[in-house]
Structure 1
Amino acid sequence: MSGQLPTVAEAKRLAKRLRAQLDAQGTPVSHGNALELVAHQHGFRDWNAFHAAMGNRPPESWSPGGRVEGSYLSQAFSATIVAVEMVRPGWFRLVLDLDEAVDVVTFDSFSNFRTRIRGVVGPDGHSRERTSDGLPQLRLDV
């Protein structure tokens, strides 16, 4: 068992990769079985115990003073995290100070620049809210 546990999202990505590797070797497993195998690799009896130990905490870099990159309204940004609050398991409200202002208006004749944004993101780093073209309003690189 490693000293540092992954986040739930990281553990799920590990399970997905493991499943693909096993499938390529001719040993297909279900996603649930891959999750169990990842739990065992980290020294836990099953996925439920592993999930409880991970606690749906945010990635380590998602703490005040931490640095993140991503996009807001489809515009790339780099930012410093000002505040983090869990709103429900796996979902976090973040306040971000952007290194450079982003224009939140898409009209040529009008602009509205923001240097601080707030948003709620889930375990994959994406907001539930979408832009008119279907993309997440806020997306963090995790």
Structure 2
Amino acid sequence: MDIPLPSRTALKAQAKRLRAALNDAGTPCTHAQALESIAHQWGARDWNTLSARAKDAPQPGYHPGQKISGRYLGQPFAGQIKAASRVGSARHRLILRFDAPVDVVRSALFSSWRQQVNCVVDATGRSLRKTSDGVPHVVLDDAWAGG
């Protein structure tokens, strides 16, 4: 299965996270080294080659079976996309299946657990629906836009 190449912005974000993780683990890594490493992971000879192949605009990349992680109602989750369809030119309707149920209630007095949710996300991986304090219900990590 071919995985669509993310945008240049998303690739740079991957390199930034890689560099931070390596530095936190005590392995010094420069930004240039992180970029080269990301290029090799994507099968390119070097960063310049990968950068030339990548586009500036985000590419749609949501498909059933895709592993995802992020936050739902402020709670971290990992899981996969059960179903995906395009809504317009830059939105996707997704059914997310969490690996483990997520407690969506902030109260210490009771819990409400969800293991599957429906949402519509924009090109940055953020849901259109928001909580009363303005936070998107769903925020996907590693969305193709690098969010």
Q: Could you say which TM-score interval applies, normalised by the shorter chain?
A: 0.5 to 0.7
Structure 1, unaligned runs of 5 or more: 18-40, 44-49
SS in 2 for 1:116: strand
Distance in 2 (alpha carbons) for counterparts of 1:139 and 1:5: 20
SS in 1 for 2:78: strand
Distance in 1 (alpha carbons) for counterparts of 2:64 and 2:77: 17
Q: Could you tell me which residue of structure 2 aligns to residue 85 of structure 1? A: 85
Does the CA contact (< 8 Å) of 2:69 and 2:140 recur in 1? yes
Structure 2, unaligned runs of 5 or more: 14-51, 143-147
1:1-142 maps to which residues of 2 (within 5 A)?
6=5, 10-11=7-8, 13=9, 41-42=52-53, 57-59=59-61, 62-142=62-142
Q: Provide closer, same or farther for how the CA distance between residues 89 and 113 of structure 1 changes in structure 2, counting only shifts above 3 A.
A: same
Deviations 1:1-52 (A, max 9, x none): xxx8645xx25x37x99xxxxxxxxxxxxxxxxxxxxxxx459xxxxxx79x
SS in 1 for 2:93: strand
**TM-score, structure 1 normalization:** 0.60
**TM-score, structure 2 normalization:** 0.58
Deviations 1:73-113 (A, max 9, x none): 01000011110011111100111110111112222222110
Distance in 1 (alpha carbons) for counterparts of 2:124 and 2:135: 14
Distance in 2 (alpha carbons) for counterparts of 1:82 and 1:140: 15
Q: State the number of aligned residues.
A: 103
Q: Runs of at least 4 residues of structure 1 off by over 6 A? A: none
* Superposition CA RMSD, Å: 3.0
Between the two structures, name the one with larger relative contact order (CA 8 Å, sep ≥ 6): 2
Report the more deviating stretch, 90-99 or 127-136. Answer: 127-136
Does the CA contact (< 8 Å) of 2:125 and 2:141 recur in 1? yes
